[in-house]
Amino acid sequence: MKKWFTVLIVSLAFVLMFSSLPASAASPRHGAIVTQTDEAKWSGISADIVLPKTATIKNGYADWYLGLGSAVVESGISKTSSGYKVFLGSGSQGGSKYWNSEYDSSIKDGARVNLKLINNGDGTVSLYVNGKLRYKQPVYNPSRLKNLDVVKMVHGVQDNGTNSYSQASFSNVQLRANTSGSVYKKWDGSIKSSLLRKNLESGAATPKFTVISSIPLSTSLSAQ
């Protein structure tokens, strides 16, 4: 009887322990909504990002960014529980010189920020924020990025399922149509593009993005 009672107490303790954990603790998620050009015809991209008026970031981050190449250079704005950051990644697996990320206290919920990401054609890329150069850095293994390549708009999240935001939208999206930067073309329905929903963590919950439009990309995000 005593042995049975002890087993029962231990079993109840385990039940209570796991039932007290938040559901999100077992629900990591890392995913994105991507609109990417089908043709590799571009050497840069410029766009305004209108940040969400409400963004609840409890852990991890949400981000809104532009990209050169299918998975080579990615740059834009992220939000953590500490505020907004501006980042440029050009192959972080190569070390710190291929990654820049700093908090920017001037960026607030609901702000409109202009981003311009350029392939300089010499193995480096540059990010301009509201017309001013923020970062210029080399591309890791630069042969991965062609002088003219695909470009993309991305809204992403990495968290434990608790983050959410109201509508975030790109607008005034312009594609750099030659290597000199003398020609830009508006990214509208005439540009062949694909909408991709990516789950970047195997076995994890798919983030609850709502796609409001794909060109230009506009989404909202719900907690799991």
C-alpha to C-alpha distance for 139 and 211, rounded to whole angstroms: 31
How does pLDDT run across 140-183, given as a tens digit for each residue?
Answer: 999 999 999 999 999 999 999 999 999 999 999 999 999 999 99
How does pLDDT run across 78-125, given as a tens digit for each residue?
Answer: 999 999 999 999 998 889 999 999 999 999 999 999 999 999 999 999
Q: Is the pLDDT of residue 16 over 70?
A: no
Q: What's the pLDDT at 14?
A: 40
Q: Which CATH number fits domain 27-222: 3.90.1640.30, 3.40.50.880, 2.60.120.1270, 1.20.210.10?
A: 2.60.120.1270
Angstrom distances, CA of residue 172 to CA of 28, 48, 185, 203: 33, 6, 10, 36
How would you write 146-191 as a 3-class SS string?
CCCECEEEEEEEEECCCCEEEEEEEEEEEEECCCCCCCEEECCCCC
Q: Output DSSP code: residue 120.
A: -
Q: Is the pLDDT of residue 135 over 60?
A: yes
The pairing of strands 124-129 and 184-186 is unpaired
- The residue extents of the domains of the chain are 27-222
Query: What are 71's two structure tokens?
Result: 């998975």
For tokens 């005593």, name the residue: 2
Q: What's the pLDDT at 191?
A: 97
Longest dimension (CA), the chain: 86
Angstrom distances, CA of residue 112 to CA of 17, 36, 47, 48, 66: 45, 22, 10, 6, 15
C-alpha to C-alpha distance for 174 and 44, rounded to whole angstroms: 9
The mean pLDDT of 209-221, rounded to a whole number, is 98
C-alpha to C-alpha distance for 207 and 182, rounded to whole angstroms: 39
The mean pLDDT of 46-63, rounded to a whole number, is 98
